[in-house]
Amino acid sequence: MKKGKGFSTGYFFILPHYLLFLIFIAIPTLFTIYISFTNWDLFGSPTFVGLENYRLLLFEKGHTYNTYFWNGIKNTLIYVIISVPIGILVPLAFAGILNENPPGKRFMQAILYFPSLLSVSTVVICWSWLFRTDVGIINHALGIAVNWAGSQPAAWIAINILTIWWLVGGNMIIYLAGMADIPEELYESAEIDGASKWAQFVHITLPLIKAQIGVTLIFTIIGGYNVFGQTWMFNNGGPGESNKTILMYIRELAFGSGVSQSGIASTMAVVLGIIIIITSTVVSKLYYRGDK
């Protein structure tokens, strides 16, 4: 846009967004990066320690912060690796089925979307009761006595089941919207050529909602790295901290009981941020490889 009358009008419209971005994202991010080079208890003035926090976190083998960090990253990666494919494929499957306009489509769509309107605490409390070892309906129905919250891999399975139930609707709606835009003629001509429903889905639907899948893929990965509520509420990090994700460590160090260790918590947050940026960029490049 040329600088002129429209220029200030343009800024007028984007200003609220930029102000909110500045206040809630840019400034806190820059502040976190600064705090990551300090020791700070949230009250006194931060003590500058240079790269010491990064050294302890990444290279001082056996130090508690190093152990916390790598355990948190390991557990977060386990969650990302399990939850991202499920978080894409399950909603895609439901969208594919619903796109065929089966009877009761609207009702099913509402049922599947409903959980994403709930808060994480509501979801986890409900599922915790279902997964209870002693009085849970899941163990009762299956005739088993699995300790879902206190043993592995049961805890990861439970956490992923409740997460997919919670979030299936969000991605599904995006895929359905994308599918609705695909011209009907493409399917008609494919059908005339004798293409099966599966072939139509793979060769028409999927390529034409590639952009939507790409966006949800990146968002699901970012959401996966930021997992907190489910693991915190379901079993508070699990047996031997085997479900304790990096965000749980960050919260515990910065805002747990006792003196705040905001410096090291900020360092963890910065490194996590870098990992998310790298992963998203690599996945995005690989996903759109070959596209013009």
Q: How many residues bind another protein (CB under 8 A)?
A: 44
Minimum CB–partner distance for residue 288 and another protein (Å): 36
Whose structure tokens read 């907190």? 228
Among 1, 2, 43, 290, binds another protein (CB under 8 A): 43
Whose structure tokens read 């609207």? 106
On the 0-12 / 13-18 / 19+ scale of CB atoms within 10 A, 173 is middle
16 lies in the binding site for another protein (CB under 8 A): yes
Which residue, 57 or 217, is less far from another protein as judged by CB? Answer: 57
The rounded distance, in Å, linking the Cα atoms of 244 and 72 is 6
Minimum CB–partner distance for residue 140 and another protein (Å): 14
Minimum CB–partner distance for residue 82 and another protein (Å): 22
Phi, psi of 47 (to 5 degrees): -100, 120
Contact positions with another protein (CB under 8 A) in 83-122: none
Minimum CB–partner distance for residue 255 and another protein (Å): 5
- Binding span for another protein by CB under 8 A among 27-35, 106-114, 203-211, 260-268: 260-268
Among 132, 208, 218, 287, binds another protein (CB under 8 A): 132
9 lies in the binding site for another protein (CB under 8 A): yes
Among 32, 34, 39, 126, binds another protein (CB under 8 A): 39
36 lies in the binding site for another protein (CB under 8 A): no
Q: Where are the alpha helices (DSSP H) in 181-237?
A: 184-192, 197-200, 206-208, 210-225, 229-235
The rounded distance, in Å, linking the Cα atoms of 81 and 104 is 33
Whose structure tokens read 């399950």? 90
On the 0-12 / 13-18 / 19+ scale of CB atoms within 10 A, 206 is middle
- Binding span for another protein by CB under 8 A among 28-36, 109-117, 147-155, 177-185: 147-155
- Listed residue (226, 249, 194, 236) closest to 80, CA to CA: 226
- Amino acid letter, residue 150: G
For another protein, the binding residues (CB under 8 A) are 8-9, 11-12, 15-16, 19, 39-47, 49, 56, 63-65, 67, 132-135, 147, 149-151, 235-236, 239-241, 255-261, 263-264
